Structure 1
């Protein structure tokens, strides 16, 4: 890679314009994006990406769970591709950069290689992974999980939203139920560029995060069932109030997170109360719990503590409790040579950088199980993500894409 021409760079203005153009699809009044997985807006975003890739001379294929792969050929078609990518789906009140930055930075790498008429030895590809967010269809990252063999295809296609529509049905409806097999394809390497989704880089004045590890996660769904009753005539001592029990579990979840510092995160992010009437004691509450930690042993202790707390609280409040862990993956250590390729790229660009652990889950965490993988982080303003005000600067976006380009070439070009 040391023999690369000095003008090998990316077009930062074009990358920024692509990000802004994609952000018009599902744009929200507060400047964010709502483009939930496999909705009509997701189809519109996918269609635009596919068109851009075909205009860049790529061959586009779609697998059976809707993952999109756009390939730029290399000199040696027998070499496994170097893959880049992320996702196009967003949170309901999502931002303009989460996920989509990694997809369009990958496309910009290909466009820039085209501009310079530069040939790699290995093919270079960009992927769009289906349903990374897990907002409409739980769990998150289900399609990259199928790709990596964590879930089988039937499981992935059967995931249903709150209205009972499945991933398989919605893929067919929007025209992205592909026929290519899912996974079982060799990769030379996988690189994913992403906004940090936290405050560390901006606070330290660093432009690039070289991601060495990612936190493990456990997701739970809990239902507490008591008895609906009139809010007036029912004495306090005789109530079986499911919301009171849920509130105590929420407090316990927060306490568990603080107990296992540094590194632990514990969140209740969704709650449904039945019958949700102002003068009826809640008879049933459904809610979710999200635990994260970079040490799997600590994550296991958090799991044990949650189970004990739910059982204790249910007994004390005279409630029935159902608890299911619906999602788990162990902490991830990214592959050493890929991390080194990112470091080499950032050192070549001269951007300020630091090593870091990802606090969020990414498709890279599953792909790392089947291919050498690393990630490139750029800052986001005030560390805010999963929010309509999520923001980044054109300069940060261009810097991360430059590093991505150099890391990809480190793996896609033969030495000597």
Structure 2
């Protein structure tokens, strides 16, 4: 390393492991669903760590947490960094948490080194990046960015009928500050790649230039419940068979677009979900992703009609609701260059990469100059309890984050 300003890799790793105890699963992963009591425990620990450093913590109306370290010049706009602490139902230790805990380590190292930056620095824990409980990915950053009106967000319900507003109140994290953009100089987010490219190419750092486009749907197919033993084929209105046709279409449309195509049905609810009843209703998710906006727009134009055509002869009806259409999001060239310079200065093998996943950075980038840093993860596996990274990979990513954030906070205006 070509710097004498080092983060503490062991302390970073120990804190990652400590956070992973909140919602730890028997298989070594994490179940820390947003706005649950387990999430509250993780948030409380994060707040305690930040306040122990002398940071000022504020919470906005959607539960986003901001921990501020003052700079020398109070007139300067803050440099932001962060990610999320919520997880998938069977998630890993590092998805999201790496970015938050690495940001905490940056703050600790600044204190250790007695560094006073010119600009303030703020560490962010965004609410519900995963979307696994309330069905809106990037909910906290999306509400902050004005993508989701807060009245709509508050009204979202989980499968048990719990509303977001009530869940926030239940854990004490509906803050008094507006969930709205405020002036900031930059935003940096460290994250595991969640894919295999960096590991396959033996690269230590991914210099993320942007994120691909995506489109999400909620689908509902309604047929008719019927006795499995007495209902002949001609009388069946099997919603699950109709859903299978749509799922096959999603897979074909993905494969038609080659290795850049992505199409997934990741959530399904079959009703009444009984062994001897023909399914009368199926609810499921559909998403497509691609680096090119034109491909996503084309899918948005063609997929609904093709899916409806598959209902012919099934006796079923399809309701398809487009949840959002997210354009490809380029990141700020000057912020990306700071990541590039840091990786080079530190001697880390690196490559430029486009994010295949959506991240809070995608919505933040609509208001604030933004860049991301990727670290490898074993076999590219994520959203899985076996998700894994090595301590030196976490340390390298955090060191690049430190370099980029400090450089931005101390830049000449």
- TM-score normalised by the chain length of structure 2: 0.98
Gaps of 5+ in 1: none
Q: Which residue does the alignment assign to 1:367?
A: 364
Aligned residue for 2:336, secondary structure, equals helix
Q: 1:132 aligns with which of 107, 125, 129?
A: 129
Q: 1:256 aligns with which of 237, 253, 258?
A: 253
2:31 is the alignment partner of 1:34: yes
Q: 2:93 aligns with which of 93, 96, 115?
A: 96
Q: Is the 8 A contact 2:209 2:331 kept in 1?
A: yes
2:348 is the alignment partner of 1:351: yes
1:107-186 mapped onto 2 (5 Å cutoff): 107-186=104-183
Mapped partners of 1:360, 1:257: distance in 2? 16
Q: Is the 8 A contact 2:3 2:346 kept in 1?
A: no
Q: Which residue does the alignment assign to 1:414?
A: 411
Report the Cα offset of residue 414 of structure 1: 3.1
Aligned residue for 2:282, secondary structure, equals strand
Aligned residue for 1:302, secondary structure, equals helix
Q: Which residue does the alignment assign to 1:335?
A: 332
- TM-score normalised by the chain length of structure 1: 0.97
Mapped partners of 2:344, 2:391: distance in 1? 20
Q: Which residue does the alignment assign to 2:191?
A: 194
Report the Cα offset of residue 155 of structure 1: 1.6
Which digits, 9 at most, give the CA deviation of each residue in 1:153-205, with x for residues without a partner?
Answer: 21222221111111111111111111011223111100000000000001110
Which digits, 9 at most, give the CA deviation of each residue in 1:259-298, with x for residues without a partner?
Answer: 1123110001111111111111111111110111111110
Q: Name the Cα RMSD after superposition.
A: 1.2
Report the Cα offset of residue 32 of structure 1: 0.2
Mapped partners of 2:68, 2:251: distance in 1? 45
Q: Is the 8 A contact 1:11 1:112 kept in 2?
A: yes
Gaps of 5+ in 2: none
Q: 1:318 aligns with which of 315, 338, 360?
A: 315
Q: Is the 8 A contact 1:222 1:321 kept in 2?
A: yes
Q: 1:78 aligns with which of 64, 75, 98?
A: 75
Report the Cα offset of residue 152 of structure 1: 1.6
Q: Is the 8 A contact 1:192 1:374 kept in 2?
A: yes
Mapped partners of 2:412, 2:217: distance in 1? 47
Q: Is the 8 A contact 1:256 1:305 kept in 2?
A: no
Report runs of 4+ in structure 1 exceeding 2 Å deviation. Answer: none
Mapped partners of 2:227, 2:27: distance in 1? 40
Report the Cα offset of residue 237 of structure 1: 2.1
2:85 is the alignment partner of 1:65: no
2:410 is the alignment partner of 1:405: no
Which sits farther off after the overlay, 364-373 or 313-322? Answer: 313-322
The count of residues paired between Structure 1 and Structure 2 equals: 412
Q: Is the 8 A contact 1:224 1:314 kept in 2?
A: no
Report the Cα offset of residue 415 of structure 1: 3.2
Report the Cα offset of residue 357 of structure 1: 0.5
Q: 2:287 aligns with which of 290, 309, 313?
A: 290
Mapped partners of 1:104, 1:153: distance in 2? 27
Q: 1:21 aligns with which of 18, 21, 25?
A: 18
Aligned residue for 2:129, secondary structure, equals coil
Mapped partners of 1:62, 1:331: distance in 2? 29
Mapped partners of 2:89, 2:363: distance in 1? 24
